[in-house]
A and B are shown apart, each in its own frame.
Chain A
Amino acid sequence: MKNEKNERREFLKIAGLTTLLGLGGGAFDFLKPGQLDASSGHAEDSHDSHGGHGKEDKSKVRWAMTIDMRKVDGKVAQKAIEACHSFHNVPDMGNPKDEIKWLWTDSYHHAFTDAANEYIDDFLMNAPFLLLCNHCDSPPCVKVCPTKATYKRPDGIVAMDYHRCIGCRFCMAGCPYGSRSFNWREPREGLNGKTLNIEYPTRMRGVVEKCNFCAELVDKGQLPKCVTAVPDVLAFGNLNDPDSAVRQILRKRASIKRKPELGTKPSVFYLV
C-alpha cells in the first residue's frame, strides 16, 4: 500500500517537471510574437522582389495603362477592340452567352458599380467605357486558380498559361471585373472566314481567356496593340518610373479606377 502511494507521488513529480520543461523548451518559442508570420512562406507574395504599386523604382517594372475617357467614343473604342481581337485571334461567337472578350465597352453605371456619385456629367454618363483586364496588383483570379494557369508576372502582368488551364472557372468567379471569358464552344468556330494572325495561337474549347496586356509585344519592347491603334487615347508605361508616360499623365489628370474598395489595386486608370 505504502509502496503504491510512493509510485503515484513519483509519477506526478516527473509529469509536472516534464510539463515545465516542455513549456520552457518548445512552447515559448512557438508563441514568440511575429515568428509565425515570418516563417509562413508568403515571401513570394510580397511585392519586395518585384515592382508593385506605390514603388518609386525604375528598375522594377510595373506596367499600367491610362484611358482618356474624354476622347473615347464608339468609333475609337471599336478601332481599339478590332486591333486587339484581330491580333489575338479572339473569336466572334455571334451571341452574348458564348461571347469572348479581351477588350470591350460598357456604360459608366455598369463599369463603376460602386460609384458613390450618381450624378456625373452627361458626357461620362453616356461614354462607352473601354474595359479590359485590370492586371491587378493583388489579383483575386490568381489566388483562386488551382493549377497556377493564371499568375502574376514580375512586371505585374496577370498572364494565362492556356496549357495548364483546366476550365474550372474559379478565376471567373474571383474576378470582380468580368474580365474573363470561357470558351464554351470551339473558338475556331468563331474565327471561320476571318483573317488569322498566324503569329499568335488561338485557344481551345474549355479554357478561360482574357487580355494579356500584349505581353508578347511588351517583352520585345513594343506597345500593346490597343495603344498603337489609338495612341492619343490610351497610354502604357511603367508605374514605378516617375517619368514614364502613364505617370506623367496621372500627375496632370484626375483619374478613377474600377472598384478600388475591393483592394485589388487595378493598373488601368480612367482619366475623367
Chain B
Amino acid sequence: MYDSDKIIPGLIIFVGLMTFPIWSSIGKAEPKPEPKIDTPAINQMVKKQCVEDTHFMKTSHMQMINDWRDKVLRDGERYYTNSRGEKVMMSLQNTCMKCHSNKDKFCDTCHTYTDVKPYCWDCHIQPKGIKQ
C-alpha cells in the first residue's frame, strides 16, 4: 500500500473522532429523573394517591389528559369517575396542578430527561403564574 504510514494513522484518528460521542459518555449516564411530590397539597393527604394509580399515571397521563380535553370541550362533561369510583373535575389547572404545584420539580424533570416539549403552558397558566 502506498503511503500506508499516513493512511493508517489517519484512519485511526478518523475512527477515534467519529466514535467520540460513544466513548466519551461511557460511565456517565444521566441520573434517572426523580419527580418530587412534596407539595403542600400532597403532604396534607392522608393517603397519597393520584386520580388513578401511579403506574397508570406514569404511562398514560398524556392520553388521559387528551381524553379529558375532548370530553370537557366537546361533550361538556366536566367530571371524571376514576377506578376507585371517585368523581374528579377534569381540569389541568384546577385538578392536576392544584396538587402538583411544583411543575419544575414534577412535570419538567421527566419531560426534560426524555426531551418532550408539551405546549400546555402556552395557554394554561402554571401554578407560579405566567412565565415571561
Contacts and interface: CB of A to CB of B under 8 A. Distances in A.
A and B: bona fide binding partners: yes
Q: Looking at chain B's contact residues, is the secondary structure mostly helix, strand, loop, or mixed?
A: loop
Interface in B89-132: 93-94, 119, 122-125, 127, 129-130, 132
A202 B125 contact: yes
Interface string B34-61: 0000000000000000000000000000
B78 interface: yes
Interface in A201-226: 201-204, 215-216, 219-220
B76 A219 contact: yes
A151 B74 contact: yes
Contact of B130 (A154, A196, A216): A196
A166 B17 CA distance: 45
Q: Looking at chain A's contact residues, is the secondary structure mostly helix, strand, loop, or mixed?
A: loop
Contact of A199 (B74, B77, B93, B119): B93
A202 B119 CA distance: 13
A199 B132 CA distance: 19
A34 to B, nearest CB: 32
A203 B123 CA distance: 5
Contacts of A191: 130
A198 B127 CA distance: 8
Contact of B76 (A155, A161, A202, A204): A155
A162 interface: yes
B73 interface: yes
A161 B78 contact: no
Interface of A: 89, 151, 153-155, 157, 159, 161-163, 188, 191, 196, 198-204, 215-216, 219-220
